[in-house]
Amino acid sequence: MMTSAASAASVAPAASATAATAATAATAATSTPAPALASTSARPASASPLSTLSHSMSLDGKTVLITGAASGLGASLARVLGEAGATVVGVDIQAGQLSDGMAALRERGVDARGFAADLADPYDAARAVDAALDGNGRLDILINNAGTDIALPLDELSDSDWQRVIGTNLNAPFVLARQAASAMRRQGGGHIVNIASTAAKRAWPNATAYHASKWGLLGLSHALHAELRPFGIRVTAVVAGGMRTPFLLERFPELDTAALQDPNDVADAIRSVLLLPASAVVAELTILPLRETSWP
């Protein structure tokens, strides 16, 4: 069965897990102030710790391109990052679903628009980056999330099956990263996030193309990290365990959904990585359901 431009993380059919990721919240209380005392050393309001913290927790002014944005983790990322202030450009092969999702975000006050594309086509992949740049003048964050799988035994896997999976899961991130990195160099920096999977660390039967693509994507991500960091471009690989997304549940409907992690939790973790100071980078992030027994 093939699923295109959906959340790219997967687990083995026998995996058992549960969702657990920490969410953060901040509260502030005010009271009637005491009379102010004159002081020549008073800190200007613009430099207060609270205002600095508020700015550091925001993606205001950033443009993010998210592939596979119509559903699953991609849709969660579009919402979480959009609500953090980013301008969202979503890309997906499912044009109608993508359009509906971007419209829903705009109703929530997010600056969001969609670009329908088949990322297995290198021309479409390159055009996706151009679309983000043409509309916003810059590209600060690229999230390579789109993925597909064709779960068949080796002797039933056709050449076209192989090319579809490798084209979407590995070739497209390469083309997108190459295009985005060129723009990010001109800007003086940026961030590329590649959504890998525990399938990049282990293997199970009937997933030859998927494993090859995810192992390759993890290697590509670390190579990009080494090559692009001198230019202020941070690169992060996300090794994600099973999530409650259509990409996983449509293929393995027998899985216990309570034992899978919420894609919103994974999106929150990625947002935290993106909000780190520009001088720091997480080269690889592993995030799993708490009780996933098939992974250490």
* DSSP label at residue 231: G
- Which residue did the predictor score with more confidence, 10 or 278? 278
| Confidence at residue 294, expressed as pLDDT on a 0 to 100 scale | 60
| Confidence at residue 76, expressed as pLDDT on a 0 to 100 scale | 95
| Confidence at residue 249, expressed as pLDDT on a 0 to 100 scale | 65
209 pLDDT exceeds 90?
yes
- Other C-beta atoms closer than 10 Å to the C-beta of 108 total 10
Give this prediction's pTM.
0.80
Average pLDDT over residues 108-114: 97
| Confidence at residue 56, expressed as pLDDT on a 0 to 100 scale | 57
| Confidence at residue 253, expressed as pLDDT on a 0 to 100 scale | 76
Per annotation, catalytic residue among 142, 168, 175, 210: 210
Q: Among residues 8, 21, 12, 64, which one has the least CA distance to residue 194?
A: 8
| Confidence at residue 135, expressed as pLDDT on a 0 to 100 scale | 85
Q: What's the pLDDT tens digit per position in 122-155?
A: 999 999 999 999 988 999 999 999 999 999 999 9
Establish whether 123 is a catalytic residue: no
| Confidence at residue 245, expressed as pLDDT on a 0 to 100 scale | 72
Q: What's the pLDDT tens digit per position in 218-274?
A: 999 999 999 999 999 999 999 987 777 777 667 777 777 777 888 899 999 999 999
Two tokens, residue 50? 């609270």
> Contact, 42 vs 283, CB < 8 A?
no
Band of pLDDT at residue 66, cut at 50, 70 and 90 = very high
192 pLDDT exceeds 80?
yes
Q: What's the pLDDT tens digit per position in 4-60?
A: 444 444 434 333 333 333 333 333 333 434 334 333 334 344 444 433 444 457 999
Separation CA 72–CA 266 (nearest Å): 11
Band of pLDDT at residue 211, cut at 50, 70 and 90 = very high
Share the mean pLDDT of the chain.
Answer: 83
216 pLDDT exceeds 50?
yes
Average pLDDT over residues 166-187: 97
| Confidence at residue 43, expressed as pLDDT on a 0 to 100 scale | 37
Listed in order, strand segments (DSSP E) in the chain are: 6-7, 63-67, 87-92, 112-116, 141-144, 146-147, 190-195, 233-240, 284-287
Burial of 109 (0-12, 13-18, 19+ CB in 10 A): exposed
Separation CA 195–CA 143 (nearest Å): 7
- Which residue did the predictor score with more confidence, 5 or 178? 178
Contacts of 272 (CB under 8 A, 6+ apart): 24
| Confidence at residue 89, expressed as pLDDT on a 0 to 100 scale | 97
